[in-house]
Amino acid sequence: MSDTYDVVIIGGGPGGYNCAIRAGQLGLKTAIVESRGALGGVCLNVGCIPSKALLHASELFEAAGSTFASMGILVDKPRLDLAAMMAQKTDAVNGLTKGVEFLMKKNKITYVKGRGRIAGAGRVEVTGEGGVQTLEAKNIVIATGSEPMGLPGVTIDEKRIVSSTGALALEKVPGKLVVIGGGVIGLELGSVWRRLGAEVTVVEYLDRITPTMDAEISTQFQKILKKQGFQFELSTKVVGVDAGKAKLAVALEPAAGGERRTIEADVVLVAIGRRPYTEGLGLETVGIMPDKRGFIANDHWKTSAPGVWVIGDVTTGPMLAHKAEEEGGNVAQLIAGQWGHMNPDIIPSVIYTKPEVASVGKTEEELKAAGIAYKVGKFPFLANSRARTNHETDGFVKILEDQATRRVVGAHMIGTGVGELIGEICVAMEFGASAEDIARTCHAHPTTSEAIREAAKGVDGWVMQA
Ligand code: FAD
Ligand code: NAD
């Protein structure tokens, strides 16, 4: 016998579970299908949450051994209990994934454990422990997320040659970690293991790390990471990793071609990006063709197949949990006949290193390429009183304003806690604020948010530029 639902969601990550919750709240009969045995997707199980648990703990470990003394706090050399650090990470994951399961019950959503496959219009087949069941659906939402990209000549075993998933669960601190890819995952997880004692080398194909970020931020970021002990091999490609001996042999070549050399590693982390995940999803049964990079196209989250929607990493746009979450809520609203809106120009992104990097809107390079005249305001944390008292003076805030419209069109920051500060700019941008609007807003003293106000003043030349 089959059940009929208003909505069947395939995938229980931030996109899927937020879609389910909103659909449940709106009174839609909803089912969510998840194959990994726990809700929360990549983000809660092997992404955002475990990485942030390890970033926080490793940051405290490093501070105890370094900056504590500069503030007159004398502790014996901290010792690492890696198993305990991993256990608190697992606790954070379990607490949150169980919380999501509770929210499903609270909102009367049917949680179906198993692998979902679209089996024609309005039908989802789920293969689980109890066999195969068919769910009839007025609407199907594809929320199947993404998976790590592999590299030819590099076989991931999740022990010595790892993706982010293996890097979140190493049983001992590697002596030498080689990270392939100077993007978000490489730099966050590279930071974790460097703080815990690994020597970290990042191999990046392009000529700078975090290549899609504002270039001035990338340059400053790399300098700070270098000061912390990171080593970088830029404009370099990995052409293979030999796992035949006790040490891994990582073969490198200049990106443009040239002489090959080898460096040794105990662990290699492959972090060169992620790709949409649609394996065995039955897209062909409803005539959906992913693009050549594997993404399912959407128009306001509608796919080319009637009644089939798509959200999160598996569709276009940044691969971020809050973007997936936003889309999930919107699709539920649209299915219920209500508004569903997201401003693609105001999706913040944060790299949770120390210091953090936070960004929203256009970069200077994008504005130049589009021929848009803009003004810049900048302010360094070195001149911010709170940053100075906290011994956290690395970095700066940069605000970009469109000269014609006088709207803030981008903000890029590097500094401790900027991941929290970026929210202020997002709100300002949503309200169409000018830099002067931010500059005229009273900010509490002493806080690092004053650096935003000073950068905003800088746009109109109220202060000395950094
Ligand atoms: P996912 O979270 O990938 O969830 C999809 C779910 O669908 C999975 O659980 C999968 O098992 C399930 N599934 C797939 N196919 C089927 C099927 N056929 N049947 C049933 N179930 C299926 N983003 C941030 O915004 N902030 C961060 O700090 C951050 N940190 C990250 C750290 C790491 C190490 C990684 C890898 C990613 C991080 N991300 C972060 C990205 C974030 O995890 C993703 O953008 C987010 O999880 C995407 O959500 P989603 O719902 O689209 O898909
Ligand atoms: P990424 O796109 O951030 O970085 C990949 C890097 O690898 C790029 O700098 C790229 O130039 C480089 N690269 C590509 N091919 C290469 C090669 N063959 N050799 C050397 N370098 C190569 O990808 P990621 O770090 O794997 O992260 C994947 C996704 O997960 C991102 O889209 C990100 O949005 C998401 N994520 C977000 C957060 C966060 O929000 N804090 C944290 C982790 C992951």
In a domain, 153, yes or no: no
Distance from Cα 127 to the centre of ligand 1, integer Å: 21
pLDDT band at 461 (very low <50, low <70, confident <90, very high): confident
- pLDDT bracket for residue 2 (50, 70, 90): low
Q: Tell me which of 255, 272, 289 is where a domain ends.
A: 272
**pLDDT tens-digit profile of 308-365?**
999 999 999 999 999 999 999 999 999 999 999 999 999 999 999 999 999 999 999 9
pTM: predicted TM-score of the whole model, two decimal places? 0.97
For ligand 2, is residue 351 a contact (CB within 6 Å)?
yes
24 domain-assigned: yes
405 shares a domain with 326: no
Domain for residue 39, yes or no? yes
Give the residue numbers spanning the domain of 431: 349-459
Q: Is 381 in the pocket of ligand 2 (CB under 6 A)?
A: no
What gap in Å lies between CA 456 and CA 410, rounded to an integer?
Answer: 11
Cβ(357) – ligand 1 distance below 6 Å: no
3-state secondary structure of 286: helix
- Domain count across the chain: 3
Judged by its nearest atom, the ligand closest to the C-alpha of residue 241 is 2
pLDDT interval class at 463 (50, 70, 90): low
SS3 label, residue 214: coil
465 falls within a domain: no
Ligand nearest to the CA of 13: 1
Decide if 449 is inside a domain: yes
Q: CA-CA distances (angstroms) from residue 86 to 42, 57, 333, 449? A: 17, 10, 38, 33
Residues 307 and 365 in one domain: no
Domain's final residue, options 335, 357, 375? 335
Residue 173 lies in a domain: yes
Q: How far is CA 49 from CA 83, 90, 165, 168, in A?
A: 17, 9, 12, 10
- Told to judge if 341 belongs to the known catalytic residues of this protein, a careful annotator would answer no
Residues 28 and 78 in one domain: yes
Q: Is the pLDDT of residue 426 over 70?
A: yes
**97 touches ligand 1 (CB under 6 Å):** no
Report yes or no on 118 lying in a domain: yes
Do 288 and 388 belong together in one domain?
no
Are 237 and 98 in a shared domain?
Answer: no
Considering the domain boundaries, does residue 408 fall inside one?
yes
115 close to ligand 1 (CB < 6 Angstrom): yes
Asked if residue 427 and residue 316 are part of one domain, the reply reads no
- Ligand 1, atom 47: nearest CA belongs to which residue? 43
* pLDDT value, residue 118: 98
Residue 183 and residue 124 share a domain: no
What CATH number does the domain containing 76 carry? Answer: 3.50.50.60
Residue 393 and residue 441 in one domain:
yes
- Write phi, then psi, for 241 (nearest 5 degrees): -130, 125
- Are 291 and 180 contained in the same domain? no
Gap from CA of 93 to ligand 1 centroid (Å): 14
CATH number at residue 355: 3.30.390.30
Ligand 1, atom 8: nearest CA belongs to which residue?
A: 41
267 Cβ below 6 A of ligand 2: no
State the ligand closest to the CA atom of 313.
1
pLDDT digits (tens, 9 = 90+) for 272-311: 999 999 999 999 999 999 999 999 999 999 999 999 999 9
- Which residue has the least CA distance to atom 28 on ligand 2? 273
Please state the atom number of ligand 2 nearest to the C-alpha of residue 351: 41
The confidence score (pLDDT) of residue 462 equals: 84
36 and 144 inside one domain: yes
Residues 116, 89, single domain; the answer is yes
Which residues are paired to 302 by β-bridges? 299, 309
Same domain, 432 and 303: no
Q: Is 419 in the pocket of ligand 1 (CB under 6 A)?
A: no
Domain end point (choices 272, 299, 322):
272
